[in-house]
Structure 1
Amino acid sequence: MRKLIFLTILSLACNMSFAQDIWISKNATVNFFSSTVVEDIEAKSSTGASVINAKSGEVIFKVSNTSFRFAKKLMEEHFNENYMESDKFQYSEFKGKISETYDLQKDGDYQVTIAGNLSIHGVTKAYSVPATISVTKGTVSAKTAFKVKIADHGIKVPSLVFKNIAETIDVKIQANYLPKK
């Protein structure tokens, strides 16, 4: 009987330990900003999904292109129909790996680099981005900011509005993670 209780407790502990390896964010925010002398364009999505495998350092992030909201409805329409072709390329996705050491069980701020592949508009390109992972009383959050050249992802801007859209877009991502249950 003692062996059975010990094995049950050991099994539960192992499962809890494994569960703590996988961290999930279902409401990550993605902001992007384009600034030119003609106008500034900003959009935000709060529906990004992300997973961190704390054991392997692997990170996956995915956001629906149609989830971005703009100040002007017409900008949103042009973004989805003309630039992102969201009916054809529904998601933007990043798959990478954290290179530095961090501990999601220990409070602190960890400055890390995440290297991987960013797929936007059907074009995948290698990126290496700085990020901050913060752990506070069992709560895990991550944030990053980086730049994306739209030409690198095959996004074409018509010459008529070329001066309205920056060649390089500022991207900011913020995610709060919970352990997988």
Structure 2
Amino acid sequence: MAFFSYTAVENIKAENNQVLSIIDLSTHEIAVSMLMNAFVFEKALMREHFNESYVESDIYPKATFEGKIIDFDPTIEGDQTRMVRGTFSMHGVTKELEIKTKIENLGGKYTLSGTFEAYVKDYNIKIPPLLAGNIAKNISVDFRFEYEPYEG
């Protein structure tokens, strides 16, 4: 999972590989959980500001998504474009989201990918006036999850 913030002053990009996601192929439900302090930035100071001043990862350590893939047929090989509807929770705020996703099925191994926009103000993330030009009002979030059948 990665996010990108573009401003005239500075572009900010971060990636997080500490993300857990599962799909229930019988109900088409999806769940995602990630540690907010696991985002990796180009500069250590960006990571510090992100965790301490913006997302307050000591108070709000995780972000989660719970939803359902609409009109998904897990038996179809190849690509499907489907909407995922659900709730995204971050920084103590939960919002309804509808995300266009690409789902690829290669022999029962699935990849789900897409992009959505998160608006900073929607999640009560406070940006100090001095830094308002450095942080975009909306953040582009890209995700790509790979799934294999659970054999327990």
User: Could you state the TM-score of these two structures normalised by the residue count of structure 2?
Assistant: 0.97
**Which structure 2 residue ranges, 5 or more long, are not aligned?**
none
User: Which residue among 31, 34, 38 is the counterpart of 2:2?
Assistant: 31
User: How far does residue 180 in structure 1 lie from its aligned partner after superposition?
Assistant: 1.2
Task: Verify: 1:93 aligned to 2:47, yes or no.
Answer: no
Match of 2:81 in 1: 111
Alpha-carbon RMSD across the aligned residues, in angstroms, is 0.8
Q: State the identity %.
A: 35
1:29-78 superposed Cα distances (whole Å, 9 cap, x missing partner): x1000000011000001121001011111110111001100000000000
Structure 1 counterpart of 2:16, which letter?
S
Task: Verify: 1:77 aligned to 2:44, yes or no.
Answer: no
User: Could you state the TM-score of these two structures normalised by the residue count of structure 1?
Assistant: 0.81
Which of the pair is proportionally richer in helix?
A: 1
Match of 2:138 in 1: 168
User: Which residue among 33, 51, 76 is the counterpart of 2:22?
Assistant: 51
User: How far does residue 141 in structure 1 lie from its aligned partner after superposition?
Assistant: 0.7
Question: Residues 108 and 149 of structure 2 are in contact (CA less than 8 Å); yes or no, is this contact kept in structure 1?
Answer: no
Match of 1:12 in 2: none
Match of 1:27 in 2: none
Match of 1:134 in 2: 104
Task: Verify: 1:121 aligned to 2:121, yes or no.
Answer: no
The number of residue pairs the alignment matches comes to 151
Return structure 1 stretches of 4+ with deviation > 6 angstroms: none
Helix, strand or coil for the counterpart of 2:102? strand
Distance 1:108 1:63 in 2: 28
Structure 1 counterpart of 2:135, which letter?
I
Distance 1:142 1:69 in 2: 22
Task: Verify: 1:60 aligned to 2:12, yes or no.
Answer: no
Distance 1:139 1:106 in 2: 12
User: How far does residue 101 in structure 1 lie from its aligned partner after superposition?
Assistant: 2.7
Whose radius of gyration is greater, 1 or 2? 1
